[in-house]
Chains A and B, each alone.
Chain A
Amino acid sequence: MSSPSRTAKSGLSIRNLGSILSQGAVSVAVIAVAYVLFANTQENLAIRGIESGFAFLQHEAGLPIGDSLIDYDPTRGYGYAFLVGILNTLFVSTLAIIFATILGIFVGVARVSNNWLLAKVAAIYVETLRNLPLLLTLFFVYTVVLASLPHPRDAIALMEGVYISKRGFYLPRPLAEDGFALFMVATGIAFILGLVFWRWAKSYKIRTGISVPGFWGGLAIFAALTGLAFMACGQPLGSELPIYKGFNFRGGLAMKPEFASLLIGLVLYTAAYIGENVRSGIQSVEAGQIEAANALGVSSGIVTRLVLLPQALRVTIPATTNDYASLVKNSSLAVAIGYPDMVSIGGTIIGQNGQAIEIIAMWMAVYLTINLIISLGMNMLNARVQLVER
C-alpha cells in the first residue's frame, strides 16, 4: 500500500494530471450552466416586466395573520410578516420535537415490553401512523378536533378562566405586577443553589461512596426557595381572564385548533418513527450485558440508566436526527389546515406580490438553516455517546 503515497509525494503523475483536468472541466461546466441559468432568468424577468430583488420586504404587507407570537398588524412589512411565519414554524417544530421524542420513547419501550397487550398496542400504533400520509393524519385530526368541540357560546369551562371550544383553548394570561423583577432574580439564585447542591452530592458520593439524593434534593431547594421568594415579594403575579364577548373569547392566552391539530398530527406521526429508532436501539444492546448486571444485583433502574440507555442511544440518535429534520419540513403541511406557518404566509406574499423566486429562495434558506442547526446539535450529542476507543 505504499505506492499511492509515493506517487502523491513525487508530485503530479500523468494520471493525476488527467483527473485534475477532468475535474476542473466538470467544475467549469457546472459553473457555466449555473451562470447561464442565472443570466437567462434575469433577462426573462426583465423582458416580462417582473420585478426582482428583495426591496419588497420593506413594503407594507397588508395581509392578516391569525396566530402570531409577536405583535403583528397589516401595516408591517412583508419581511416582518415572513418573520412571523418563521417563528410559527420554529415554535410548532420545537414543541413537536419535544413531545414526539417523549411519546416516541414510550412507544419504543412499549414495543419491546414483556406485556403482550402493551407491545401489541404500540405495534398497531406504529404501523398505522407510519403507513398513512401525514396530510391525511392532519386532516383527520383537524376534523376530529373541530367536530368534537362545542361552539364558544357553549364552551367547556374546565375551571375559572380555562375554556375549550372550536375557537381554541383559552387560558388566563399571566401578568407581571410590582416586584416581579425581584422575584425573577430570587428564582435565578434558587436555581443556582439547587444546581450547586446537585454537583456537591455527586462529588460527595465519589469521595465517600455515600449516596445523597442530589437531583431531588436540588429540586426541593429550588422549589422551597422560589415559593418563599414568591410570598416575600407579595405574590407579584396577576392574571387576565378570557371573557366571552360577541363572537368569541377576548383576552387571555389562546391555543388555536389549527396549531393544536398540526402539533398533534406532527407528534403522532413522528413519534411512530422515533419509537422504531428507540426499539432498534434497545434491541441492539446485547442481552448478556443486562443479564450480567442483573446477576450482580444492580437495580433495574440503574441497569436502564447506566447500561442500556448509553448503548441504545448510539443506534437511536443518528436515525432520530433524520426524523427531526423531516418533522421540520413536514410542518409546511400547516398550510392545508390553516395554520399560518412560513409556507402559508410566503404563499400569500407570492399571491400579492408575485415575486415567487425570492420567496422560494427564502423558504429554502430557512429550512436549510434550521435543519443544519438540528444536524449540528445532534452530531455533537452523537459524538458524546459514541464509544470512546482508547
Chain B
Amino acid sequence: MRNSIKLGALAVAAITAASAVNAGTLEDVRGAGELVCGVSEGVPGFSNPNSEGIWKGLDADVCRAVAAAVLGDADAVRYVPLASKQKILAVSSGQVDMTSRTTTWTMKRDSAEGVDFTAVVYYDGQGFMVSADAGISSATELNGATVCLTTGTTTELNIADYARANNLTLEPVVFEGKREAVEAYASGRCDALTTDSSQLAAFRAGFADPLAHTILPEIISKEPLAPLVAHGDNQWKDIVTWVVYGLITAEEFGVTQDNVADMAANSANPSIQRMLGSSGDTGGFIGLESTWMVDALSAVGNYGEIYDRNLTSTLGLERGVNAQWSDGGLLYAMPIR
C-alpha cells in the first residue's frame, strides 16, 4: 500500500509536471549540482547500501561514473530506491534524472512508456533456483512446481510464456519485494525461485548453505539490463550512453583507475588520446568537459574493474557473456571518435 501511495504521488507528479520534459536534463543536473539516480531497493552486486549506508554495486557505479563525467564529482549523486513498478514512471515523469536499476530493455518500454534505454551494462537472463535435494536437473522437470517471484517485472511474463511453450503447469506466488520472495523460497513455500540468474547467484551466496541450492542450466529469457532516461532529451541520452561505452572501451584499451592520469598525459595511442581528451574534444560532442572520461575512470575504474569489484570478488559471478567481444563475450562498445 505504501508503494501504491508513492505510485499515486508519482502519477500526480506526472500530471502536474509542466512540459519541461524536453528541457535539458544536463542543465538541470548542473544547476542542482547533483545527479538524481534511481536504483533498486537492494540487490547485492548491483545496487545495495553497505553498513554505512553508501550505495555499492555495478548499477551504483554507473551513477557515479555519470556524475563524475558531468559534474566532476562522483559523490554528487542522490540515490532514489525505486520499487520495480515505479522504475519506469519515475524516469518518464522526471522524478529522477536517470535510472540504473537492473531494468530490462524491451520494445514496449522503449517505444510506448516514455523512456529511452541507453547502453547495455549487463547481459542477463531469467533462470530457476531449486533446492538441491529436490533432485531435478532441468527446468523442464518443474511441472506442477510452485514458483516464487516478484511483481512488476518481466519475470512474470517470461515464466508464463515458458510454461505455455513447454506445456508445464507452474503455480506462481507473486511478492511485492525481492526479500519476501527469497524468504518464502527459503522457508520451503516454493519449489523454485525465479529471477535474473545474476540475482539468483547473489541470493544463493547469501544463504547459510549455498550448496543446498542448485541454479538450473536453462536461461528462459534475454534480459539486457540498461540504464534509462526520459524520452525526448537526446543530449542527455547521449551522455549516459557514451559514459557506459567509455567504461567498456577503457577496459578494451587497458585504461584503469590507477593508470588513467598517466595514460591521459603520456599515451601514444590516438584512440586513448581522443577518449581521454588529450587530443580532440570528444567531451564537447555531448556538452561535457574534455576530461569527462578521465573523471569517470578515476572515480570508478573501467568496466572490468567495476565488474570484478562488485560481482566477481563478492558474489563469485564469472564474466560469462559479459566479457569483451574480443574475448568471445557480448560487450562491444561503439567507437569513441
B172 adjacent to chain A (CB < 8 Å): yes
Whose C-beta in chain B lies nearest to the C-beta of A348? B151
Docked CA distance A74–B171 (Å): 12
Decide if B156 touches A352 in the complex (CB within 8 Å). Answer: yes
- Pick from A18-26, A42-50, A170-178, A289-297 the stretch touching chain B: A42-50
Encoded as 1 (CB less than 8 Å from any B CB) or 0, chain A from 318 to 355 comes to 00000000000110110111101001100110111110
CB distance from A165 to the nearest CB of B (A): 9
Chain A positions within 8 Å of B184 at CB level: 146, 338
Decide if B156 touches A338 in the complex (CB within 8 Å). Answer: no
Whose C-beta in chain A lies nearest to the C-beta of B87? A351
Decide if B175 touches A336 in the complex (CB within 8 Å). Answer: yes
- Pick from A1-9, A197-205, A242-250, A273-281 the stretch touching chain B: A242-250
8 Å CB interface, B71-105 against A: 84-85, 88-89, 92
Chain A positions within 8 Å of B173 at CB level: 66, 256, 258, 338
A48 CB contact (under 8 Å) in B84, B114, B163: B114
B180 CB contact (under 8 Å) in A47, A74, A338: A338
Chain A positions within 8 Å of B21 at CB level: 44, 47-48
Decide if B180 touches A336 in the complex (CB within 8 Å). Answer: yes
A127 adjacent to chain B (CB < 8 Å): no
CB distance from A246 to the nearest CB of B (A): 4
Docked CA distance A143–B187 (Å): 9
A and B contact pairs by CB, cutoff 8 A, 12 listed = A40-B16, A50-B114, A51-B113, A64-B174, A166-B189, A329-B1, A337-B180, A347-B3, A347-B176, A354-B88, A354-B112, A360-B11
A167 adjacent to chain B (CB < 8 Å): yes
B152 adjacent to chain A (CB < 8 Å): yes
Decide if B85 touches A347 in the complex (CB within 8 Å). Answer: yes
A37 adjacent to chain B (CB < 8 Å): yes
B22 adjacent to chain A (CB < 8 Å): yes
Chain A positions within 8 Å of B321 at CB level: none
Chain A positions within 8 Å of B144 at CB level: 245-248, 250
A378 adjacent to chain B (CB < 8 Å): no
Whose C-beta in chain A lies nearest to the C-beta of B4? A343
CB distance from A330 to the nearest CB of B (A): 8
B15 adjacent to chain A (CB < 8 Å): yes
A40 CB contact (under 8 Å) in B3, B10, B18, B170: B18
Q: How large is the interface on A (under 10, 10 to 19, 20 to 34, 35 or more residues)?
A: 35 or more
Which residues of B approach A to under 8 Å, CB–CB?
1, 3-4, 7-8, 10-11, 14-19, 21-22, 84-85, 88-89, 92, 108-109, 111-114, 134, 142-146, 148, 151-154, 156-157, 159-161, 163-164, 170-177, 180-181, 183-184, 187-189, 191, 230-232
Docked CA distance A219–B1 (Å): 44
Docked CA distance A340–B172 (Å): 10
B157 CB contact (under 8 Å) in A48, A50, A63: A63
A265 adjacent to chain B (CB < 8 Å): no
Decide if B176 touches A336 in the complex (CB within 8 Å). Answer: yes
B172 CB contact (under 8 Å) in A65, A147, A343: A65
Docked CA distance A9–B103 (Å): 68
CB distance from B225 to the nearest CB of A (A): 15
Decide if A66 touches B112 in the complex (CB within 8 Å). Answer: no
Docked CA distance A360–B13 (Å): 14
Chain B positions within 8 Å of A74 at CB level: 160-161, 164
Docked CA distance A25–B132 (Å): 71
Whose C-beta in chain A lies nearest to the C-beta of B111? A49
Whose C-beta in chain A lies nearest to the C-beta of B1? A332
Decide if B160 touches A47 in the complex (CB within 8 Å). Answer: no
Chain A positions within 8 Å of B231 at CB level: 48-49
Docked CA distance A235–B86 (Å): 55
8 Å CB interface, A28-52 against B: 37, 40-41, 43-45, 47-51
Docked CA distance A345–B248 (Å): 39
Chain A positions within 8 Å of B153 at CB level: 351
A357 adjacent to chain B (CB < 8 Å): yes
Decide if B4 touches A348 in the complex (CB within 8 Å). Answer: no
Known: A41-B15, A337-B175. A351 touches B84 (CB 8 A): yes
Decide if A62 touches B176 in the complex (CB within 8 Å). Answer: no
Decide if B180 touches A64 in the complex (CB within 8 Å). Answer: no
Whose C-beta in chain B lies nearest to the C-beta of A43? B19
CB distance from A46 to the nearest CB of B (A): 10
